[in-house]
Structure 1
């Protein structure tokens, strides 16, 4: 095991900056996922750690050793790639032991390490098989075992499950978690799959355009995103965003208002433009909640249902906001709509007028200009509660 530290690492390719001033501190024995859209720099970051790419600026430490200029073989790392790259003419034993044989380990030591690795990845009894006799998941286990036998300080995994089918990916996620627990080693894992990152990681490092946006435990990235990019990238389906302006008693959008005291957010001032974010599971049909006038909920919002997507355990419902109800989702894109998640037994149809409310404790505010997060939840801000619903009389007390 070893700690991995990137200190102001930058990688340029002529006029393209693939990684920009990257600072990462990965703890000994930690499982960290690098996630982000295609071209965000996650694989380049991995390659600089492995030694396959030299950084233009900055330093890389593995443990107490500065490995910035060391070749890959001297860094104490082992890589598992998206392309499994097994030798088709070698059996499982020969594939796993290939690196050890190149380094002239004695036969007894090779046998011991191969047997231990095969036991860890559950390949006992398969050492004499050819790769074409194995399933996709078994082939991936061979690639992982090939890395294990080297006893590396750090495992580097670059989308190792991307070529597997969906069911097998879920199974292999569990296998990798078990592997990490059993080996108690440092793992750095590149993926674009949020499910992999959320379920396996101790922490997620979210990258965009070569820059680190946030590195935190999965639920922190989900519940307290540092900026709008992280909020929109983490979570499937994505967070809803609605543009609005700060007024004296909250935020006003083109279609609804959210009441709270802006003074409770020091960086907020009346007139500021903000993006209001709310996840689909925090949008509720009024007919489905016990107290639609509860203080943590917004006023009712008139919407019309557009497209329904049954997913088995839930239904995704695309809602057209009042001003845009005459414009289909196809014509207006993501503007003027909300996505709501409801239970599969919900009686709801397309082109139906309904009322919804938002959970103010789950509303996020982001600066429109910078994208930086301003607040995570506005229900507890003093001064303003939810405005009374239509027809409700406020108490004089």
Structure 2
């Protein structure tokens, strides 16, 4: 196990900056997911930690060592890639032990490590099989076992579940959590799938355009996003966003107003803000919880999407209906809201509904900078979490 620290790491390819001034402090034994859209720099960050890429600026430490200029083999790391890359002509035993045999380990030690790794990832009885005789999940476990036998200080995983089907991905997420608990080692995991990040990690590092946006526990990123990007990226479906202007009493938007207590005392009348609210925090008036809610907002049901355990209801605030939009489009449209309701709620297309928002779950962001202002418009304003990792020791 080892602590991993990136200090001011920048990686530049010609005129293009893939990662800029990345500061990460990952604790010994921690499971951290690097998450973000394609091309955001998360894989480049992982490859810099691994030594597959050399940083243009900055340093990388693993444990007490500065490994910035060390080759991958000397960093005490093991990688698991999206491409499983098993040798098709070797059986499971030979695939797992390949790296040990290259390093001329004694046969007894190789056998011990392979047996231990196979037991950890539940490959007992499969060591003589060829990769073609294994399922996708079993092949992925072979790749993980091949990393385990190296007894690394840090596991680096680059979207290892991306090629598996949805059901198998859910199963393998559980397996990786069990593996982390059993090995108690540091794992840095790259994914664009926020479900993987939310369910597996101790902390999530959200990256966009090569910049670290926030690093915090999953629920902190969900409930207290540092900025508009994190608020929109974390959570499925996305958070609703409505632009407005501060008045003497609260926020004035195109279609409705929201009263704001002294939470926004530092804002001036006329300041432009973006209000965010998640679909589960919008309620029909008759189902509103016993909390501080907004005034009633009149809307029309545009589209419904039954999901089994809930129904997504697309609401139109204007008189324009019938235009099908994706959840992301709804999240940013000024005349649209997305609400989630219980599966037994019966709503018809074109039906008028009265809804309210839970003001304790209304987020305010500065429209110009995108930074969060407050995550509850009924309470005194508090400083939001440091996007570079306020929860670190």
Which TM-score tier does this pair reach, normalised by the shorter chain? over 0.9
In structure 1, the residue corresponding to 2:10 is in which secondary structure? strand
Distance in 1 (CA, whole Å) between partners of 2:297 and 2:156 is 48
Asked if residue 355 in structure 1 is aligned to residue 350 in structure 2, the reply is no
Under a length normalisation based on structure 2, what TM-score does the superposition of the two structures give? 0.94
CA deviation after TM superposition for structure 1 residue 56, in Å? 0.2
1:297 to 293, 300, 310: 293
Alignment of 1:104-253 (within 5 A): 104-253=104-253
Alignment-derived partner of residue 320 in structure 2: 325
Query: 1:245 touches 1:251 (CA, 8 Å); kept in 2?
Result: yes
1:369 aligns with 2:368: yes
The answer (yes or no) to whether the contact 1:282–1:362 under 8 Å persists in 2 is yes
Q: Contact conserved, 2:302 with 2:322, CA < 8 A, in 1? A: no
The Cα shift of 1:2 comes to 0.2
**Distance in structure 2 (CA, Å) of the matches to 1:32 and 1:242:** 32
Which residue is 2:3 aligned to?
3
Q: Is the radius of gyration larger for structure 1 or structure 2?
A: 1
Moved more, 263-272 or 157-166: 263-272
Listed one character per residue, the Cα deviations across residues 172-206 of structure 1 (whole Å, up to 9, x for unaligned) are 00000000000000000000111110010000000
- Is the 2:263–2:378 contact (alpha carbons within 8 Å) kept by the matching residues of 1? no
- The residue number in structure 2 matching 1:50 is 50
- Per-residue CA distance 1:2-56 (angstroms, 9 max, x = gap): 0000000000001110000000000000000000001100000000000000000
SS of aligned partner of 2:104: coil
**RMSD of aligned C-alpha atoms?**
1.5
Residues in 1 aligned to 2:207 and 2:278: alpha-carbon distance in whole angstroms: 21
Is 1:303–1:325's contact at 8 Å kept on the other side of the alignment? no
Structure 1 unaligned segments of length 5 or more: list them.
383-397
C-alpha distance in structure 1 between counterparts of 2:164 and 2:228, whole Å: 31
Contact 1:93/1:128 (<8 A) preserved: yes
Q: Distance in 2 between matches of 1:232 and 1:151?
A: 38
Cα distance change of structure 1 residues 117 and 295 upon mapping to structure 2, 3 Å threshold: closer
CA distance in 1, matches of 2:230, 2:321: 32
SS of the equivalent of 1:195 reads: helix
Cα offset for 1:379? Answer: 2.1
Deviations 1:288-307 (A, max 9, x none): 236xxx56000110000111
Q: Contact 1:59–1:66 (CA<8 Å) still a contact in 2? A: yes
Offset of 1:266 from its aligned partner?
4.5
Partner of 1:391: none
Match of 1:309 in 2: 305
After superposition, the Cα gap between the structure-2 partners of 1:138 and 1:62, relative to the gap in structure 1 and judged at 3 Å, is same
Counterpart contact for 1:267–1:374, Cα < 8 Å: no
TM-score (norm 1): 0.93
Q: Is the 8 A contact 2:247 2:269 kept in 1?
A: yes
Cα distance change on mapping 1:31 and 1:333 into 2, 3 Å: closer
1:72-128 deviation per Cα after TM superposition (whole angstroms, max 9, x unaligned) = 000000000000000000000000000000000010000000000000000001000
1:264 counterpart SS class: helix
Equivalent in the alignment of 1:85:
85
Separation in 2, partners of 1:111, 1:330: 57
Q: Aligned partners of 1:177 and 1:183: how far apart in 2?
A: 10
| 1:277 Cα offset (Å) | 0.1
User: 2:2·2:28 contact (CA, 8 Å) conserved in 1?
Assistant: yes
Shift of 1:351: 1.2
Q: Would you say how many aligned residue pairs link Structure 1 and Structure 2?
A: 377
* Matches of 1:16 and 1:7, distance apart in 2: 20
Q: Distance in 2 between matches of 1:31 and 1:380?
A: 33
**Cα distance between partner residues in 1 of 2:195 and 2:125:** 32
Partner of 1:276: 275
Structure 1 partner of 2:391: none
Indicate the residue corresponding to 1:395 in structure 2.
none
Looking at structure 1, the residues matched to 111 and 355 of structure 2 have their Cα atoms a distance apart, in angstroms, of 64
